[in-house]
Amino acid sequence: MPTSIPLCVDLDGALWQTDMLLESLLVLLKESPLSIFRIPFWLVQGKAKLKLELANRVRLRVASLPLRAGLLEFLRKEHQAGRRLILITGAGSQVGQAVAAQVGLFEEIVACDGEVNLSGDHKTRILVDRFGKRGFDYAGSHDVDLDIWAEARKAVVANNSDDLARRVKALCEVEIVFPRPAAGPKAWLQALRMQQWTKNLLVFVPLLGAHQWRNSSKLGAAFLAFLAFSICASSFYLLDDLLDLEADRHHPTKRHRPFASGRVPLLWGMIGGPCLLLASILVALSLSPAFRLAFVGYYLLTLLYALRFKQLEILGILTLAALYSIRLVAGGYEAQVAVSDWLLVFSNLVFLSLAFVKRFTELQLAPREKSDGLKERGYRVSDLALISAMGVASGYLAVLVLALYVTNPTVTQLYQNPAALWFACPVLLYWISRVWLLAHRGLLYDDPIVFALKDKVSWFVGLIALVIGVIALPK
């Protein structure tokens, strides 16, 4: 028999696994970075004022936000049993109405009016005035909801914290608990994308190219450079994922990322990113002034890429390639080894080809029914053929540069058997051709660097390249 007691459901953290305020702040940062400086002036006027200003400037697509599946299924069953469901949220009424329309279960919406922040004491007062003490049940997920549960008849807890569940039980009867995904080590490793640290091994290339890998002091300096870039890269990946939440949620694989799926709270990423950046700066400060200059340039270019360049056709791809090359140059600075023009040209072309294949794969995975394809990256589905042509051409030009390098007279001064290097050309040609062939077949789902780390054929190709280097015997 259906109960006459209404169930009031909180939105942030309960019905969906995210925070509307933080989502809005991130969209504002991406769309209008300078507006971020106005936030303190809105906040001093109260949190309700901040939410109102954000609501007037930011339009979130609530349909893409991650709903808590277990709680949603429970609400459907309660609704079918005739129970009255009420959505109560500190977000604006437009958001509340959009969520209610999406879910299709709520009879009423109580939302923030821009004057009073609908949270804590204010929310408790509204519910008690409306339904009376013990006249309602409440579904929430945070400590701030404890005052509400103290006045409620029953509690629905959307949190797997044993401490919170114990404190709620001391206040009222707990009807059911819905655990939220725990942000364990695996989720954090995925968020930090430590597999991408392999890209920073490029700082060792100038040292290897100059045949000075036996110099322990230079090798140690290169390792610190690798560490600085790697920690900085993880801080950037946190920022990039936070700014790309909506795009990731529409992607077939990226929607499972920790922030997009709601497995890791947005606030943790917003705190973790700056902390990691600070740590990388401290490491960089222990290195040479030349490296520090390259490091600053790397981060500024990375920031520009995250905020704007990635949305621009061609420029975003060129930026990705440039970020690879900066690692090479910085590694040369720190190891006090000159980076040859041959290496710079060769690496730029290889990285350009990989950047093109990255965009090609993303565009190929975009919903084919959308003519704009990958709008947030500045590309359309009709661009696939051209992107492919430019990417393959870049890769083949890299092979040509390698062949020209082998014929250069200076090579005989660096290697005892320089003719062996000729075999590196078909090996590189094979690998680049195979990567693009797999991409065209729709079999390349990862970043090309990540793909290479998982691909047995790529490992075999790398082994062959290593054998060729050994046969050439550097002097």
Assess contact for 2 and 82: CB atoms under 8 A: yes
pLDDT of residue 92: 66
How crowded is residue 214: how many other Cβ atoms within 10 Å of its Cβ?
8
Place of tokens 């590196």: 424
Assess contact for 48 and 115: CB atoms under 8 A: yes
Residues across the chain: 475
- Per-position DSSP letters for 138-185, written without gaps between them: EEE-SGGGHHHHTTSSEEEE----HHHHHHHHTTSEEEEE-PPPP--H
- Per-position DSSP letters for 437-453, written without gaps between them: HHHHTT---S-HHHHHH
Report which DSSP code applies to 474.
B
The number of helices, as runs of H, and strands, as runs of E, in the chain is 22, 6
CA distances from 331 to 43, 86, 195, 440 (A): 44, 59, 20, 34
How crowded is residue 150: how many other Cβ atoms within 10 Å of its Cβ?
15
Assess contact for 298 and 179: CB atoms under 8 A: no
Q: What is the mean pLDDT of each run of 10 residues along the chain (475 residues)?
A: 78 82 85 83 81 78 81 90 86 75 85 63 85 91 87 86 82 84 77 87 81 77 92 91 86 84 88 94 92 92 85 87 88 81 89 92 68 61 89 96 88 81 94 95 82 89 89 73
CA distances from 10 to 17, 115, 156 (A): 11, 19, 10
Distance of alpha carbon 62 from the chain centroid? 19
Spatial CA neighbour of 224 closest among 339, 351, 340, 330: 330
Q: In the numeric block, which tokens belong to residue 232?
A: 């900085």
d(CA 447, CA 400) in angstroms, rounded, equals 24
Q: Torsion over CA of 447, 449, 452 and 454, rounded to 10 degrees?
A: -60
Q: Which domains does the chain have, with CATH numbers?
A: 7-177 (3.40.50.1000), 188-403 (1.10.600)
Position 162, amino acid: D
